[in-house]
């Protein structure tokens, strides 16, 4: 996701990386929503809104109970957005919007797992290092079949996340499908705090682990790059990184690329609408670099890996990445609500869109069945490769 202003100076966040009542209110909500899009002239006729008005009037006239206009507005807005059928276009109410912001900046209460949707299945995209989900044994690509005994069929990602989250010290039971096997996990929720960048050294190799692309990720990665500037080689670990702010991936790619080298292009209907280019100050240019990816590497992770791969700045090691090739803007709506909406498809410098395909590693290395922090097959291979 990126924070920047467009030509109209409207502040937005852009993501790449896991969302009416009386006639006058319906019109206001819909027009307000549409005004936040990039289409210059959109008009909704009274005839187009007639079925919605009719539904509201019928509900108001016949329902045996109290109606809350605020709830109806939110429900209609959510339903309209969900009807698009894009898992990355989501309506957030005020509370959900605030939680979404906290998630990207690594502060929330839950189990420490990123949830997404693939082939209509709810899956674990990644688990945060040293947090409850990882400690319990959840793995990327586990399919979430039940939560506390409830079938998740037809659930949205947002509903799934809301069911998994809860107060620190409480337990959530997940039933997941791994391969052909159903497995139960009872996981105690905890306060989740997770720095987006961690570093360690292995002899003359600096290892930079990036778990997401948040507000401070680019600055933390640059600090790590400065620390390791004199090292023989660098390993960037993007495994399990579900993405985040697009600008962060651009700024990190700039550590290797020359000013004005293309990091990523955005296209609408196949036409290039925007090109993000490196900003220079490339203190790691020419440094032998390995980037580790896996099935949990998505969105901004894939943009960074794709940019470094296409420009020959790094060797990509691991297995096929997740395959999220779209870009989202976060548009602020009235009352604190937000709309996360797909506005373009992104392409690597060589013109590849990896949607549903992922980034193909230069060297395929599969993680071992018994891998852990002390025995990491993919990392060990990368260390051997740079040494």
Q: Roughly how many angstroms between the first and final C-alpha of the chain, as a whole number?
A: 35
Active site residue 310: yes
Q: What is the DSSP letter of 225?
A: H
Active site residue 324: yes
Tokens (6 digits) for 27: 């019109």
Contact, 328 vs 343, CB < 8 A? yes
Residue in 13, 250, 287, 324 annotated catalytic = 324
Contact, 187 vs 174, CB < 8 A? yes
Pairing mode of beta strands 363-364, 315-318: parallel
Catalogue the E-assigned strands of 31-162.
Answer: 90-92, 107-110, 113-118, 121-127, 143-147, 150-151
Active site residue 371: no
Residue in 299, 301, 321, 326 annotated catalytic = 299
Contact, 292 vs 237, CB < 8 A? yes
Q: Which helix (H) or strand (E) holds 309?
A: helix 300-310
Q: Quick check: helix, strand or coil at residue 48?
A: helix
Which string of DSSP letters, residue by residue, matches 1-18? --EEE-TT--EEEEE---
Q: Give the contacts of 60 (CB within 8 A, at least 6 positions apart).
A: 67
Whole-angstrom distance, CA of residue 33 vs CA of residue 298: 28
Contact, 92 vs 340, CB < 8 A? yes
What is Dmax (Cα atoms) for the chain? 75
Q: Which helix (H) or strand (E) holds 99?
A: helix 94-104
Contact, 349 vs 310, CB < 8 A? yes
Helices 69-82 and 23-35 cross at an angle (nearest 10°) of: 40
Residue in 158, 247, 310, 329 annotated catalytic = 310
Whole-angstrom distance, CA of residue 114 vs CA of residue 119: 17
What's the chain's Rg over C-alpha atoms? 22
Residues classed as catalytic: 299, 310, 324
């Amino acid at each position: 996701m990126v924070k920047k202003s467009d030509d109209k100076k409207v502040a937005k966040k852009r993501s790449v990386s896991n969302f009416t009542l009386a006639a006058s209110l319906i019109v206001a909500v819909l027009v307000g929503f549409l005004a936040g899009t990039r289409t210059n002239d959109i008009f909704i006729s009274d005839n187009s809104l007639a079925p919605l008005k009719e539904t509201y009037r019928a509900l108001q006239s016949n329902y045996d109970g109290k109606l809350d206009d605020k709830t109806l507005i939110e429900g209609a807005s959510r339903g309209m957005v969900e009807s698009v059928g894009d898992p990355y276009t989501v309506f957030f109410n005020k509370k959900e919007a605030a939680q979404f912001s906290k998630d990207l900046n690594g502060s929330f209460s839950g189990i420490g797992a990123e949830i997404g949707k693939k082939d209509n299945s709810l899956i674990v995209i990644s688990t945060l290092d040293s947090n409850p989900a990882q400690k319990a044994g959840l793995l990327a690509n586990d399919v979430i079949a039940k939560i506390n005994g409830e079938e998740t069929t037809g659930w949205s990602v947002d509903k799934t996340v809301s069911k998994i989250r809860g107060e620190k010290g409480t337990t959530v039971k997940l039933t997941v499908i791994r391969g052909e096997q159903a497995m139960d996990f009872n996981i105690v929720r905890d306060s989740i705090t997770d720095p987006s960048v961690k570093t360690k050294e292995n002899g003359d190799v600096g290892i930079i682990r990036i778990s997401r692309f948040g507000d401070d990720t680019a600055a933390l990665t640059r600090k790590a790059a400065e620390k390791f500037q004199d090292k023989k080689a660098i390993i960037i670990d993007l495994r399990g990184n579900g993405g985040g702010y697009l600008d962060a991936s651009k700024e990190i790619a700039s550590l290797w690329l020359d000013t004005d080298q293309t990091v990523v292009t955005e296209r609408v209907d196949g036409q290039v609408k925007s090109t993000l280019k490196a900003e220079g100050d490339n203190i790691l240019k020419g440094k032998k670099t390995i980037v580790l990816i896996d099935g949990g590497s998505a969105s901004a992770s894939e943009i960074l890996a794709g940019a470094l791969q296409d420009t020959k700045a790094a060797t990509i090691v691991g297995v096929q990445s997740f395959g999220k090739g779209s870009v989202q803007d976060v548009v602020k709506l009235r009352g604190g609500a937000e709309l996360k909406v797909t506005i373009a498809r992104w392409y690597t410098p060589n013109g590849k869109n990896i949607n549903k395909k992922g980034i193909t590693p230069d060297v395929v290395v599969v993680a071992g069945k018994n891998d852990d922090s002390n025995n990491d097959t993919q990392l060990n291979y990368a260390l051997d490769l740079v040494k």
